[in-house]
Amino acid sequence: MILANSVRVAFMRTAVVIVAAGSGSRAARDGEAPKQYRRLGDRPVLAHTIAAFLADPAIDSVVVAIHPDHGDLYRRTVAHLADDPRLLPPVLGGATRQSSVRAGLDALAQSPPDRVLVHDAARPFVTPAVIDRTLDGLDAADGTLAAVAIVDTLKRTDAAARIVETIPRNHVHAAQTPQGFRFAALAAAHARAAAAGRDDFTDDAAVAEWAGLDVRVVAGDPANVKLTTNADFDGAEARMTIDRFAALADVRVGTGYDVHALVPGDHVTLCGVVVPHQSRLDGHSDADVALHALTDAILGALGDGDIGAHFPPTDQRWRGCDSAVFLHDALARLARRGGMLAHVDVTIVAEAPKIGPHREAMRARLAELCACALDRVAVKATTNEKLGFVGRREGIAALATATIRLPLRTCPEREI
Ligand code: MG
């Protein structure tokens, strides 16, 4: 069975058209970003939506139909995905949803996939299960539509809000996206609709039904909401925060320690901040002990070696290098594991220079380097009471702790 599935996946090419061409004219008037570009958690809504499809191994390519005025907004939204070849260049949408989808289909037609999913940009909570059901349904139909059964009784009213009809809710569904189709069938249906002068279909299932295709409902997800009102956004924000923190339940703390010798010079670099001094720290890189200790703290929390193992002092590439390079490498390892930095705490041990006047600049620089909020960063300093090598001003030491959160995964050999 596994072989059969993987063979099917290998030979079925699947593309996604994400419809993000709404102008958001009301939002623009109010000085807000259009809803598909509104921030939700750490990213715009559209970035979450694209990521949901790129995370699914069944998806080979994604094309986004954008509004002609939103080129810059879009580029900023997907800047972090620039290396993913599955995200194709955007296409410019038209005046209607239908024409925007058609622009996406036309772009895909240059190298036509077997199957295509069409999805609303404003539904960022689409799950792998809904995507899979939409695709699996195509084995038995020309088209599929994620939808949820209506549980409320439906009333049709007249202009005076008087009930004129109770609509039987048996077999009534609320349509969501994704909607899935055999690519050739949907492309032909759209071409026919355009040729017939029809541009009033509100979703692709309606285009397909009109063209006589066999379109079937598969189970959507009540949580796969289309974000429309401010209340939707408030709810989505709360949900995303709770989901994110709940998923990152593997909380770990790492420690780091480093020392560099002081030699004649005119400044030291600590936490990425240059501080004038009558000595400098000696070392292979810029000898920023604080960043080295912090890098080791993050690597320690990850259980992933130490700075010397990843950046050997024998390697000439790191001579004189800005120690932010080492910190960024540790943060990239954290990001690749799907984690986040929760807090960093750095202590600098030095007789001189005085750290106090530079503490806030150091915190701000660390927050910038770590891309985290200032209140997640602490910088402290102490002298060594003239004791030992630090007390004799022969060197500066730094200690750091880093708290990280990783996705909670059960590990096959040792169960949590
Ligand atoms: Mg060092």
Distance, CA 289 to ligand 1 centroid (Å)? 5
Determine the Cα–Cα distance for residues 41 and 44; give it in Å rounded to an integer: 8
> 80 and 71 in contact (C-beta within 8 Å)?
no
Q: What are 348's two structure tokens?
A: 């600098």
Determine the Cα–Cα distance for residues 145 and 206; give it in Å rounded to an integer: 10
Distance, CA 37 to ligand 1 centroid (Å)? 42
pLDDT band of 237, cuts 50, 70, 90: very high
Determine the Cα–Cα distance for residues 16 and 125; give it in Å rounded to an integer: 16
Distance, CA 386 to ligand 1 centroid (Å)? 22
Distance, CA 311 to ligand 1 centroid (Å)? 10
Q: Where are the alpha helices (DSSP H) in 141-269?
A: 183-195, 204-210, 230-247
> 218 and 146 in contact (C-beta within 8 Å)?
yes
Determine the Cα–Cα distance for residues 176 and 123; give it in Å rounded to an integer: 9
pLDDT of residue 247: 85
Distance, CA 287 to ligand 1 centroid (Å)? 6
Beta bridge partner(s), residue 403: 253, 343
pLDDT band of 1, cuts 50, 70, 90: very low
Distance, CA 113 to ligand 1 centroid (Å)? 52
Distance, CA 360 to ligand 1 centroid (Å)? 23
Distance, CA 316 to ligand 1 centroid (Å)? 15
Distance, CA 373 to ligand 1 centroid (Å)? 26
The string of pLDDT tens digits covering residues 301-331 is 999 999 999 999 888 888 889 999 999 999 9
The mean pLDDT value of the chain amounts to: 92
pLDDT average, residue stretch 162-167: 93
Distance, CA 387 to ligand 1 centroid (Å)? 21
Distance, CA 284 to ligand 1 centroid (Å)? 8
Distance, CA 344 to ligand 1 centroid (Å)? 18
Distance, CA 385 to ligand 1 centroid (Å)? 23
Distance, CA 165 to ligand 1 centroid (Å)? 77
Distance, CA 337 to ligand 1 centroid (Å)? 25
Distance, CA 292 to ligand 1 centroid (Å)? 5
Q: Is the pTM of this model over 0.75?
A: no
Determine the Cα–Cα distance for residues 398 and 314; give it in Å rounded to an integer: 22
Q: What are 229's two structure tokens?
A: 């009102």
pLDDT band of 409, cuts 50, 70, 90: confident
pLDDT band of 29, cuts 50, 70, 90: low
Determine the Cα–Cα distance for residues 329 and 343; give it in Å rounded to an integer: 17
Distance, CA 349 to ligand 1 centroid (Å)? 14
pLDDT band of 2, cuts 50, 70, 90: very low
